[in-house]
Amino acid sequence: MRARVTVTLKNGVLDPQGKAIEGALGTLGFGGVGQVRQGKVFDVELDGADRSKAEADLKAMCEKLLANTVIEDYAVEIAG
């Protein structure tokens, strides 16, 4: 089973890397770009076919390691 975990900064948390990307896009001639927020993506392969267990395990992985839940949100997508 494959899953994708997307981790992003929570709204209200300063994102200097996103700000730098936003500025660079403007410098490269890409006008009309609003706010840019950066994040990270984890593609995870899991053994087994139990989707509810996989989702619970992935959430636990996020809570314990993949995301800093004080300043980051995460989303889990299971592809199957």
Question: Residue 24: pLDDT above 70?
Answer: yes
pTM of the model: 0.86
Cβ pair 17, 75 in contact under 8 A: no
- For the chain, strand residue ranges (E) read 2-9, 39-45, 72-78
Give percent above pLDDT 90 in the chain.
94
